[in-house]
């Protein structure tokens, strides 16, 4: 807990430090004191940039969890003009059952090798035993989805996560100064990540994962050879999040996940307090192997 508080203090320092802010005249959406109109700027607003000319990804973004899905509207020139929130079904039990039935039929499934499909099915039928998120384990990358908040400063970006499927507060500190992956890093839930810019898109390359997490629900496992590439592109007040998963041990080809679009949230009260630590209380009460 002391380490986490230290990290957040460091993050607050980064926000406050003058050399980490955009140069004069380069304001991010909603950071001008007393200017409420900028806080409510439409998604077609000009994309803010840092002093080195890169898009400024900093901000609080609508979470991936909680059923928040946005439909993108574009004009004749292909520019984003609006994001329409598609609300989930208020009958959550009905909504969950519908998603459970639709997931296996979705067209964009991970391309597992034929001989491994039976393993996916077995894990799915024994979710309560093998899905680590049901036993206080982190969901890992890319299952945890896009960050809840991004802080960008010279040579680094910080991804902050909260809620959603992760159900925990955590962070990723990603260098963007051209360094390579750590040669001596231990495998982990979040892997070892480095970033670089591809034009106006931030590409984050992550390797060195443990194999105890899943890519998604329904037994979608991966191996320790997994490589994840995340791409984040800001256009005005919207952020496009794209993920490619390459795992030659279990896939026949790289899997390009369905992209997500997030919307900038300028409400200073939108970030919730730290959630309590996860405590395992369900296992002794489970009577079946499936958790659907």
Ramachandran sector of residue 62 (left: φ over 0; alpha: ψ -120 to 50; beta: rest): beta
Q: Given this model, what pLDDT does residue 77 score?
A: 54
Q: Which carries the bigger pLDDT value, residue 189 or residue 83?
A: 189
> Nearest to residue 63, comparing CAs of 277, 265, 266, 286?
265
If you average pLDDT over every residue of the chain, what do you get?
Answer: 76
Element (H, E) at 256: strand 255-256
> Nearest to residue 108, comparing CAs of 261, 216, 230?
216
pLDDT digits (tens, 9 = 90+) for 158-187: 999 986 554 567 899 999 999 999 999 999
pLDDT digits (tens, 9 = 90+) for 28-61: 333 333 333 333 344 458 999 999 999 999 999 9
pLDDT category of residue 273 using cuts at 50, 70 and 90: low
In this predicted structure, the answer to whether residue 125 has a pLDDT above a threshold of 60 is yes
pLDDT digits (tens, 9 = 90+) for 211-239: 999 999 899 999 999 999 999 999 999 99
DSSP states of 130-160: H-GGGGT----TTTT-S-SEEEEETTEEEEE
- H-type helices in the chain, by residue range? 2-16, 36-39, 92-102, 117-125, 127-130
Q: Given this model, what pLDDT does residue 27 score?
A: 36
- Coil vs helix vs strand at 2: helix
């Amino acid at each position: 807990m002391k380490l986490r508080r230290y990290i957040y203090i460091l993050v607050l320092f980064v926000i406050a430090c003058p050399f980490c802010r955009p140069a004069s005249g380069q304001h991010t959406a909603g950071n001008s004191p007393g200017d409420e109109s900028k806080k409510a700027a439409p998604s077609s607003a000009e994309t803010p940039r840092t002093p080195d000319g890169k898009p400024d990804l900093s901000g609080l973004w609508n979470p991936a969890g909680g059923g928040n899905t946005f439909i993108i509207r574009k004009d004749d020139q292909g520019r984003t003009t609006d994001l329409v929130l598609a609300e989930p079904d208020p009958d959550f039990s009905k909504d969950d059952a519908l998603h459970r039935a639709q997931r296996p039929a979705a067209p964009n499934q991970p391309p597992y090798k034929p001989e491994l499909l039976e393993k996916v099915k077995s894990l799915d039928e024994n979710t309560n035993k093998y899905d680590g998120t049901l036993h206080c384990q982190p969901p890992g990358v890319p299952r945890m989805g896009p960050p809840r908040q991004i802080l960008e400063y010279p040579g680094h970006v910080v991804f902050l996560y909260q809620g959603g499927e992760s159900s925990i507060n955590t962070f990723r500190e990603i260098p963007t100064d051209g360094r390579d992956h750590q040669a001596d890093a231990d495998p982990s839930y979040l892997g070892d990540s480095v970033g670089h810019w591809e034009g106006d898109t931030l590409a984050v390359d992550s390797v060195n994962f443990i194999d105890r997490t899943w890519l998604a629900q329904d037994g979608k496992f991966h191996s320790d050879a997994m490589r994840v590439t995340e791409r984040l592109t800001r256009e005005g007040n919207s952020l496009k999040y794209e993920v490619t998963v390459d795992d030659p041990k279990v896939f026949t080809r790289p899997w390009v996940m369905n992209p997500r679009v997030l919307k900038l949230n300028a409400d200073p009260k939108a970030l919730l307090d730290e959630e309590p630590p996860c405590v395992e209380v369900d296992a002794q009460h489970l009577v079946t192997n499936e958790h659907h």
